[in-house]
Structure 1
Amino acid sequence: MEMSGAPREKFKPFSLEKGFFIMRITAVIVPFLLCSLSLPASAKRVVSLMPSYTEIIFALGAGGELVGVSNFCNWPAETAGIEKAGDYLRPNVEKVYALKPDVVFAGAWAGASSSKQLSAMGVKVVRLPEEKSAADIFASIRLIAAELGRKAQGEGLIRSLKALLPAAAPAAPVKVYIEADSGGWTAGGHSFLSDAIMLAGGKNIFGGENRGYFQASWEEVLLLDPQAVILLSGAKEEFLARPMAGGLAAVKAGRIITGLDRDAFSRPGPRLFEEIKKLKNLLYAEK
């Protein structure tokens, strides 16, 4: 209601036109803003060149952002429908570029020349350090989560993984030999597999080696006489048929472990921690 005596503003055609203009702009901008707000702030086009990174990305709830993965990325099942971009040593640079990623996660083992090529083409490449322990895996989770705008999810994932680890190490850990691949390929002290064995309550017989992965001689294994053997590759029967295998403490105790998930245990990702828990139960199962 107008106040009597108050000066009345003269009618201005421009004011009316300006009002219609503002209404039209508002009609365009508001729906745009609402749509923008409804999209995840972290939504990106992501390429992962390592299976462990792919598993971390899915565990963070960001699997829908993956537009490309490596040929070896086979878990979870959803990876089957994602474009394959080569392996982690020799990624297909042209294919990765064609996927128009906002970020590419590559590991320490990924070809340096490929990373340089992609960077020169304007693609953001995040090369994560090689994981040599559970702590390093947690660091990779934090780096990936931060890059994807999912820091809170990253911390939540780390807490859930830590909760899976055994509470305390036994006073006398079981001496363990792990055969990661045929030909005596095993893990030294500078590897996440050695740390996983320790977290499960074991002691890697090659834990004193200042290297990651190498071929151990059968004579060395016999000399160190492990109390348990983990086979990630090869059959138990083949192992038992090796010269003097019957004299090993592990064979006498019936501790030849073949029940671990090879992919899950050999990748520095979230599934490793369930396997550590499983290994603890296998190492200390009642005979």
Structure 2
Amino acid sequence: MKNFLVWATTFLILAFSGVSQAQDSARGAIMRVTTRPGVVVPLYVVWRNQAVATVVLFSGSKGGFGKPGDDGWPDSGNFLIRTGKMWASQPFNIVMVGRPSDGIDLGDGAVRIGAEHGADNVAIYKAVKSKSNVPLWVVGTSMGTISAVASAVHDTDGLISGLVLTSSVTSSKRAGAVPTQDLSKIRVPTLVVHHEKDACKICVPSDARTIAGLLVNAPIRKTVMLNGGSGATGNPCEGQHYHGFIGMESAVVAMISAWILHPAS
């Protein structure tokens, strides 16, 4: 773990050194996509000149990204959302997925694998690709991993270039849990990242280790189990606990970003 932190921190420093001051202070914008008749999904987007990839971020719980704060960035405490500036320091376009206007319940795993959410996501991916036709990577955390996996399983249009699953939902008691979906249909590089101390009862670390073995048709698959961070507090299924990689966010974002740039087993 020590070697991982040294490597990841070094990568992060190098990544920041190549980012202009303008990019450091850049704010995103709200983009609204009509996904189904009468339904709009807001996205918080940051477009980057010469981006090499787009990362689409699916948060956990009931989804969404909160509201932009005084600094113009979403205020959600979810791991993928609160690290938005870290993602934006990488050579990526950033897309945070909001909640659809018809109020479908993304806190329900069955909804996240359902046809309506699936249609929303396809429309989002196509809209994003129309703005920037670079490889699109889907990144999910906690309940967001259900959405991310379902997208990849049903990606008949070849919109998705890669998949990253953090703090995956593994318990079969939750509809759409990652191991219960047909992972054999996923044919893109996939990274599984989990914390050894994740105490969320539906995101069991030992079960997360089995995910890669089910990705039999993914050309590259890798599992990274982490053990570090500090300051865990509150609900073990929320972002301020090990479930949300508390105290080690920059190293985790750097490691994932490096893998997206150069996937390897």
Query: TM tier, shorter chain?
Result: 0.3 to 0.5
With the length of structure 1 as denominator, give the TM-score of the two structures.
Answer: 0.32
Higher relative contact order (CA 8 A, sep 6+): 2
Structure with bigger strand share is 2
